[in-house]
Structure 1
Amino acid sequence: MKMITFLLVGLIVHVIFFVSIFDIYFTSPLVHGMTPQTTPLAPPASRLVLVVADGLRADSLFTPLPDGSSRAPYLRNVMEERGTWGVSHTRVPTESRPGHVALIAGFYEDVSAVAKGWKENPVEFDSVFNESRHTWCWGSPDILPMFAKGASGDHVYTHTYPAAEEDFASTDASRLDSWVFTQVKSFFQSAKSNSSLRASLLEDQNILFLHLLGIDTNGHAHRPMSKEYLDNIGLVDTGVADLVSMVEDFFDHDGRTAYVFTSDHGMTNWGSHGAGHPSETLTPLVAWGAGVTNAQKVTAAQPYNDGFLQDWKLEHLQRVDVNQADIAPLMASLVGVPFPVNSVGVLPLLYLNNSDQFKAESIYTNAIQVLEQYKMKMAQKKETTLSFLFTPYQLLTESKQAEFFHTARILIQLEKYDDFISLCRSLISNALEGLVYYHTYDRFFLGCSVVLGFVGWTSYVVLVILKTHASLDRHPSLLNQNHSHTLARLCICVTVVITVFLLIQRSPVTYYIYCLLPVPVWYSVLKEYRTLTDLVRSAPSLPLWKCLGYLVLVAFGIELLVVSFFHRAMLTVGLAVLSLWPFLSGLFGKAKFRSVSWCLGCLCLAAFPLMPVVGREPNIHLVTCAGVLSLFTSACYLWSALQKAPLHLTDRQQFITQMLHVAVCAYVPSLTHSSLQQKQGLPLLNQIISWTTLASSMLVPLLSSTRIFHRLLSIFLSLTATYLLLSTGSEALFPPVLSWLMFVWINIEQEAILAQGVSGRQELSTIDFSANIDIAKIRQLKLDDIRRSYFFVFFIITAFFGTGNIASINSFDPASVYCFLTVFNPFIMGGLMMWKVIIPFIIVMCTFETIQVATQLSSRSLFLVVLVISDLMALHFFFLVQDYGSWLDIGTSISHYVIVMSMTIFLMLLSVVTHILTSQRLILWRKRKTHFP
Structure 2
Amino acid sequence: MLLFFIVGLLVHFVFFASIFDIYFTSPLVHGMTPQFTPLPPPARRLVLIVADGLRADALYEFDENGNPMAPFIRNIVTHEGSWGISHTRVPTESRPGHVALIAGFYEDVSAVAKGWKENPVEFDSLFNESKYTWSWGSPDILTMFAKGATGDHVFTYSYDANDEDFGAQDVTKLDTWVFDKVKEFFHAARKNQSLFSKLNEEKIVFFLHLLGIDTNGHAHRPTSREYKDNIKLVDEGIKDIVSLLKEFYGNDEKTAFILTSDHGMTDWGSHGAGHPSETFTPFVAWGAGIKYPQKVSAQQFDEALLKECKLEYWKRQDVNQADIAPLMASLIGVPFPVNSLGILPVDYLNNTDVFKAESMYTNAVQILEQFKVKMTQKKEVTLSFLFTPFNLLSDSKQLDILRKARSYIKQRKYDEAVSLCKDLIDLALKGLSYYHTYDRFFLGINVVLGFVGWASYASLLIIKSHSSPTSSVSKEVKKPSHLLTCSFVAIGVLIACFLLIQGCPRTYYVYCLLPVPIWYAVLREYQVIQDLITSLLTFPLSHVFGYLFVCTLGIEVLVLSFFYRYMLTAGLTVFAGWPFITHLWTRAKSISLSWIFFCLLLAVFPLMPVIGRKPDISVVIGAGLLVLLLSLFVVTTLIKRKDGFINGKLLLHLLQMLSIVLAMCVVYSTHKSLLRKQGLPLINQIVSWIILASSFVLPLLSPTLLFQRLVSIFLSSMSTYLLLSTGYEALFPLVLSCVMFVWIHMEQETLQRCGVSCKQKVSNIQFTCNTDISQFRQLSWDDTRRAFFLVFFLVTAFFGTGNIASINSFDLASVYCFLTVFNPFMMGALMMWKILIPFVLVMCAFEAVQLTTQLSSKSLFLMVLVISDIMALHFFFLVKDYGSWLDIGTSISHYVIVMCMTIVLVFLNGLAQLLTTKKLQLCGKPKSHLI
Q: 1:425 aligns with which of 408, 422, 433?
A: 422
Change (3 A) 1:628 1:587: same
SS in structure 2 at match of 1:158: strand
Q: Does residue 518 of structure 1 match 2:518?
A: no
Change (3 A) 1:695 1:751: same
The residue number in structure 2 matching 1:906 is 904
1:326-475 paired onto structure 2 within 5 Å: 326-471=323-468
1:152-191 paired onto structure 2 within 5 Å: 152-191=150-189
User: Following TM superposition, by how much is the alpha carbon of 1:308 offset from its aligned partner in structure 2, in angstroms?
Assistant: 1.3
Does the 8 Å contact 2:137/2:157 carry over to 1?
A: yes
Between the aligned partners of 2:498 and 2:474, the Cα distance in structure 1 is 37
The residue number in structure 2 matching 1:283 is 281
Does the 8 Å contact 1:579/1:602 carry over to 2?
A: yes
Does the 8 Å contact 2:773/2:856 carry over to 1?
A: no
SS in structure 2 at match of 1:61: helix
Change (3 A) 1:543 1:701: farther
Change (3 A) 1:813 1:760: closer
Q: Does residue 693 of structure 1 match 2:681?
A: no
Between the aligned partners of 1:832 and 1:784, the Cα distance in structure 2 is 37
The residue number in structure 2 matching 1:754 is 752
The residue number in structure 2 matching 1:85 is 83
SS in structure 1 at match of 2:190: helix
The residue number in structure 2 matching 1:58 is 56
Change (3 A) 1:233 1:257: same
Q: 2:915 aligns with which of 898, 914, 917?
A: 917
SS in structure 1 at match of 2:50: strand
The residue number in structure 2 matching 1:223 is 221
The aligned amino acid for 2:125 is: S
Q: 2:574 aligns with which of 545, 557, 577?
A: 577
The residue number in structure 2 matching 1:722 is 720
The residue number in structure 2 matching 1:308 is 305
User: Following TM superposition, by how much is the alpha carbon of 1:115 offset from its aligned partner in structure 2, in angstroms?
Assistant: 3.9
SS in structure 2 at match of 1:259: strand
Change (3 A) 1:764 1:297: same
User: Following TM superposition, by how much is the alpha carbon of 1:636 offset from its aligned partner in structure 2, in angstroms?
Assistant: 1.8
The aligned amino acid for 1:842 is: V
Between the aligned partners of 1:517 and 1:825, the Cα distance in structure 2 is 39
User: Following TM superposition, by how much is the alpha carbon of 1:677 offset from its aligned partner in structure 2, in angstroms?
Assistant: 0.3
Q: What TM-score do you get using the length of structure 1 for normalisation?
A: 0.97
Between the aligned partners of 1:759 and 1:927, the Cα distance in structure 2 is 35
Between the aligned partners of 1:605 and 1:683, the Cα distance in structure 2 is 35
Task: Report the RMSD for the aligned CA atoms in angstroms.
Answer: 1.7
Between the aligned partners of 2:16 and 2:769, the Cα distance in structure 1 is 36
The aligned amino acid for 1:753 is: L
The residue number in structure 2 matching 1:598 is 595
Does the 8 Å contact 2:536/2:544 carry over to 1?
A: no
Does the 8 Å contact 2:33/2:338 carry over to 1?
A: yes
Does the 8 Å contact 1:560/1:570 carry over to 2?
A: yes
The aligned amino acid for 1:179 is: W
The residue number in structure 1 matching 2:295 is 297
Q: 1:586 aligns with which of 583, 595, 603?
A: 583
The residue number in structure 2 matching 1:491 is 488
Q: Does residue 505 of structure 1 match 2:497?
A: no
Change (3 A) 1:509 1:306: farther
Between the aligned partners of 1:420 and 1:179, the Cα distance in structure 2 is 46
User: Following TM superposition, by how much is the alpha carbon of 1:765 offset from its aligned partner in structure 2, in angstroms?
Assistant: 1.5
Does the 8 Å contact 1:141/1:162 carry over to 2?
A: yes
The residue number in structure 2 matching 1:637 is 634
User: Following TM superposition, by how much is the alpha carbon of 1:766 offset from its aligned partner in structure 2, in angstroms?
Assistant: 1.4
Q: 2:561 aligns with which of 561, 564, 574?
A: 564
SS in structure 2 at match of 1:45: coil
Between the aligned partners of 1:803 and 1:247, the Cα distance in structure 2 is 51
Between the aligned partners of 1:74 and 1:774, the Cα distance in structure 2 is 71
Between the aligned partners of 1:770 and 1:795, the Cα distance in structure 2 is 24
Q: 2:258 aligns with which of 230, 245, 260?
A: 260
Deviates more, 1:397-406 or 1:139-148: 397-406
Residue by residue over 1:584-611, the C-alpha shift from the partner in whole angstroms, topping out at 9 and shown as x without a partner, is: 1111111000001000010000010011
The aligned amino acid for 2:786 is: R
Change (3 A) 1:890 1:540: closer
The aligned amino acid for 1:912 is: G
Change (3 A) 1:540 1:497: closer
User: Following TM superposition, by how much is the alpha carbon of 1:303 offset from its aligned partner in structure 2, in angstroms?
Assistant: 2.7
Residue by residue over 1:204-250, the C-alpha shift from the partner in whole angstroms, topping out at 9 and shown as x without a partner, is: 00000000000000011111111110011111111101101101111
User: Following TM superposition, by how much is the alpha carbon of 1:547 offset from its aligned partner in structure 2, in angstroms?
Assistant: 5.2
The aligned amino acid for 2:801 is: T
The residue number in structure 2 matching 1:855 is 853
Does the 8 Å contact 2:773/2:857 carry over to 1?
A: no
The residue number in structure 2 matching 1:42 is 40
Between the aligned partners of 1:776 and 1:405, the Cα distance in structure 2 is 76
Change (3 A) 1:471 1:772: closer
Q: What TM-score do you get using the length of structure 2 for normalisation?
A: 0.97
Residue by residue over 1:552-600, the C-alpha shift from the partner in whole angstroms, topping out at 9 and shown as x without a partner, is: 2222111001000001111000000000001111111110000010000
Does the 8 Å contact 1:474/1:531 carry over to 2?
A: no
Identical residues among aligned pairs (%): 62
Change (3 A) 1:928 1:335: closer
User: Following TM superposition, by how much is the alpha carbon of 1:772 offset from its aligned partner in structure 2, in angstroms?
Assistant: 5.7
Between the aligned partners of 1:631 and 1:133, the Cα distance in structure 2 is 66
Between the aligned partners of 1:927 and 1:144, the Cα distance in structure 2 is 58
The residue number in structure 1 matching 2:95 is 97
Deviates more, 1:208-217 or 1:765-774: 765-774
Q: Does residue 732 of structure 1 match 2:738?
A: no
The aligned amino acid for 1:99 is: G
SS in structure 2 at match of 1:29: coil
1:184-263 paired onto structure 2 within 5 Å: 184-263=182-261
Between the aligned partners of 1:824 and 1:191, the Cα distance in structure 2 is 33
Q: Does residue 788 of structure 1 match 2:786?
A: yes
SS in structure 1 at match of 2:495: helix
Between the aligned partners of 1:386 and 1:632, the Cα distance in structure 2 is 71
Residue by residue over 1:459-487, the C-alpha shift from the partner in whole angstroms, topping out at 9 and shown as x without a partner, is: 11111111112239779999965x62111
Q: Does residue 896 of structure 1 match 2:927?
A: no
User: Following TM superposition, by how much is the alpha carbon of 1:66 offset from its aligned partner in structure 2, in angstroms?
Assistant: 4.3
User: Following TM superposition, by how much is the alpha carbon of 1:448 offset from its aligned partner in structure 2, in angstroms?
Assistant: 0.2
SS in structure 2 at match of 1:209: strand
User: Following TM superposition, by how much is the alpha carbon of 1:860 offset from its aligned partner in structure 2, in angstroms?
Assistant: 0.8
Does the 8 Å contact 1:781/1:858 carry over to 2?
A: no
The residue number in structure 2 matching 1:866 is 864
Q: Does residue 109 of structure 1 match 2:107?
A: yes
User: Following TM superposition, by how much is the alpha carbon of 1:761 offset from its aligned partner in structure 2, in angstroms?
Assistant: 3.0
Q: 2:678 aligns with which of 661, 677, 680?
A: 680
The aligned amino acid for 2:335 is: P
SS in structure 1 at match of 2:257: strand
User: Following TM superposition, by how much is the alpha carbon of 1:65 offset from its aligned partner in structure 2, in angstroms?
Assistant: 2.8
1:523-538 paired onto structure 2 within 5 Å: 523-538=520-535
Does the 8 Å contact 2:774/2:856 carry over to 1?
A: no
User: Following TM superposition, by how much is the alpha carbon of 1:112 offset from its aligned partner in structure 2, in angstroms?
Assistant: 2.2
Between the aligned partners of 2:687 and 2:777, the Cα distance in structure 1 is 46
Does the 8 Å contact 2:698/2:716 carry over to 1?
A: yes
Between the aligned partners of 1:105 and 1:928, the Cα distance in structure 2 is 65
SS in structure 2 at match of 1:389: coil
Does the 8 Å contact 1:274/1:811 carry over to 2?
A: no
Between the aligned partners of 1:870 and 1:592, the Cα distance in structure 2 is 33
User: Following TM superposition, by how much is the alpha carbon of 1:853 offset from its aligned partner in structure 2, in angstroms?
Assistant: 1.2
1:639-658 paired onto structure 2 within 5 Å: 639-646=636-643, 647-658=645-656
The aligned amino acid for 1:814 is: L
Residue by residue over 1:377-410, the C-alpha shift from the partner in whole angstroms, topping out at 9 and shown as x without a partner, is: 0000111111111111111111111211221232
1:770-809 paired onto structure 2 within 5 Å: 770=768, 775=773, 778-809=776-807
